[in-house]
Amino acid sequence: MKASFPPDLREQIAQLHEDYAETVDRLDIDAWPEFFTEDCLYLVTSRENHDAGLPHGTIYCEGIAMVRDRAAATRDCTVYEPRFLRHFLGRVKIDAADGDTVKARASVLVVESVSDKEPHVLVVGQYHDVLRRGADGSLKIKERRVVYDNYRIYNSLVFPV
């Protein structure tokens, strides 16, 4: 039997996805850590590694301090060619909802535009999320595993995906 979830839960997660995507797509790197809980995990990894249970992360941040450090490094230290990202999200699939915790997935396509090139697919894959509801009712990201189908990432990941 398929579990059934409150009808507005999917809508609320879709809104979280929109806000996250919109924040990254306008390159507001300082606002990015606000989507995560204090004890979060943010991991970008290949589907090949994920399926094999291997923990390697192309980006690996454990805890909000590492997320903030990543944001600060991207803003202040990293040297990179100017670029824009644009996220496209598939429909939210809720796998479990138990008390304040929700497990959900969604397909994600990130198209990158850099100078002197046509836009290209930077990342295609799936978000594997564990979300937690805070005291104010809002959802934050406890775990986000960005599992990409790509064989490789073109050039490099500068901004979060």
Of 5, 9, 12, 14, the residue at the interface with its own copies (CB under 8 A) is 14
Q: Which segment (31-39, 53-61, 88-96, 129-137) binds its own copies by CB under 8 A?
A: 88-96
Q: Counting Cβ atoms within 10 Å, is residue 77 exposed (0-12), middle (13-18) or buried (19+)?
A: exposed
Nearest-CA neighbor of 82 among 3, 131, 15, 155?
155
Shortest Å distance, C-beta 161 to its own copies: 13
Contact call for residue 59 and its own copies (CB under 8 A): no
Here the tokens at position 33 are: 């850590």
Of 50, 70, 87, 142, the residue at the interface with its own copies (CB under 8 A) is 87
Contact call for residue 47 and its own copies (CB under 8 A): yes
Q: Is the dihedral of CA 145, 27, 133, 108 positive or negative?
A: negative
Contact call for residue 34 and its own copies (CB under 8 A): no
Contact call for residue 154 and its own copies (CB under 8 A): yes
C-alpha span between 71 and 5 (Å, rounded): 34
Shortest Å distance, C-beta 109 to its own copies: 6
Count of CA atoms in the C-beta half-sphere (13 A) of 40: 27
**Beta carbons within 10 angstroms of residue 137's beta carbon:** 8
Helix (H, G, I), strand (E, B), or coil: what is residue 48? helix
Contacting its own copies within 93-132 (CB under 8 A): 93, 107, 109, 111, 113-121, 124-126
Of 21, 43, 67, 161, the residue at the interface with its own copies (CB under 8 A) is 21
Q: Which residues are at the interface with its own copies (CB under 8 A)?
A: 14-15, 17-18, 21-22, 25, 47, 84, 86-91, 93, 107, 109, 111, 113-121, 124-126, 149-152, 154
